[in-house]
Amino acid sequence: MPNDSVKKESKGMGIHGRRTIAYIVLALVSFLCLFWFYVLFINATRSHAELTKGFTPVPSSYLKQNLNNIMTGTLPVLRGMINSLIIATCSAVLCTYFSTMTAYAVHVYDFKLKKFMSTFILAVMMIPTQVTALGFLQLVNRMKLDDTFIPLIVPSIAAPVTYFYMKQYMESSLPLSLVEAARIDGSGEFRTFNNIVLPLMKPAIAVQAIFTFVTSWNNYFTPALILHTDTKKTLPILIAQLRSADWLKFDMGQVYAMIAFSIFPVIVVYLILSKYIVGGVALGAVKG
């Protein structure tokens, strides 16, 4: 009996020690991730003259002035934020919905080219965007869609990375017996997908919606090639224009303030969808 108590005590101390180490590592990683956001917001409160003197952890009092200079400047910042919100939101919704539908079709249905289509979609994932940029621009010009949002939203429907993630999640959380039971009860395919499959996929959809939104929000390469009118440009393009201003008019405080201003919508989207990642795990579990 004394030996058993000693073993239990040592085992408990071992678990407690590993848990303490895990908390320390998580705290360190969290600090490293959040520190740069702290630096960004601190620099957004400082003037250009203060920034040239070096970094200080104490915030200054120029945040309101920096934001006011951005809003009253020549760049349409608010319009750029609206444009980025429209493009990023539509891209996230279309990408997650149709990628989930594609993964559902490959996971549930049996057809001759099933393995080929799955392999082909994964092969497309290996092609960089820059390789197809020239042909994509030629297609956009021929369709007379230059300087519009359509070429930035519609292609997001075909997202091999999102498809692959959804397919892997379905294999672990969507049994085919559930789909068969819905069919026996008389549920149509679209009703089964929208009312049964999508609720089970909430955690995966929330994760991919965040990733897609952030990717589209931060995208500079494709919008810079397609959008030419200032009132249609997105925030990354406007930030690049602000940074490339004449050195006599260049203000690093405004640049930091504009970058901080552009991060707030991303944080809001994450806070809204993160509860589905945590709370949706119970919904995504299928109990036998």
Q: For position 261, what pLDDT does the model report?
A: 84
- pLDDT tens digits, one per residue of 86-141: 999 999 999 999 999 999 988 888 888 888 888 888 888 788 777 888 888 899 99
Cα separation, 66 vs 191, whole angstroms: 51
The answer to whether the pTM exceeds 0.85 is no
Interior/surface letters 3-12, b for 16+ CB within 10 angstroms, e for the rest? eeeeeeeeee
* Percent of the chain topping pLDDT 90: 16
Q: For position 281, what pLDDT does the model report?
A: 46
Q: For position 85, what pLDDT does the model report?
A: 92
Look-up: residue for tokens 């960089």? 128
Task: Check: CB of residue 255 under 8 Å from CB of residue 243.
Answer: yes
Cα separation, 280 vs 173, whole angstroms: 12
* SS3 labels along the chain: CHHHHHHHHHHHHHHHHHHHHHHHHHHHHHHHHHHHHHHHHHHHCCCHHHHCCCCCCCCCCCHHHHHHHHHCCCCCHHHHHHHHHHHHHHHHHHHHHHHHHHHHHHHHCCCCCHHHHHHHHHHHCCCCHHHHHHHHHHHHHHCCCCCCCHHHHHHHHCCHHHHHHHHHHHHHHCCHHHHHHHHHCCCCHHHHHHHHHHHHCHHHHHHHHHHHHHHHHHCCHHHHHHCCCHHHCCHHHHHHHHHCCCCCCCCHHHHHHHHHHHHHHHHHHHHHHHHHHHHHHHHHCCCC
Apex CA 57: angle with CA 51 and CA 62, to 5°? 50
Which of 120-124, 207-211, 241-245, 283-287 has the highest average model confidence (pLDDT)? 207-211
- pLDDT tens digits, one per residue of 35-66: 888 888 898 888 888 888 888 888 888 888 88
Cα separation, 34 vs 4, whole angstroms: 45
Q: For position 249, what pLDDT does the model report?
A: 66
pLDDT of residue 33 exceeding 80, the answer is yes
Interior/surface letters 239-265, b for 16+ CB within 10 angstroms, e for the rest? beebeeeeeeeebbbbbbbbbbbbbeb
Q: For position 136, what pLDDT does the model report?
A: 87
Six-digit token string for 255? 């640049």
Look-up: residue for tokens 């589209």? 216
- Average per-residue pLDDT for the chain: 83
123 burial level (CB within 10 Å; 0-12, 13-18, 19+) = exposed
Q: For position 284, what pLDDT does the model report?
A: 43
Q: For position 82, what pLDDT does the model report?
A: 92
Q: Name, in order, each residue with C-beta under 8 angstroms of 273's C-beta and a sequence gap of 6 or more.
A: 206, 209, 210
Q: For position 277, what pLDDT does the model report?
A: 67
- pLDDT tens digits, one per residue of 240-272: 888 776 566 677 888 888 888 888 888 888 888
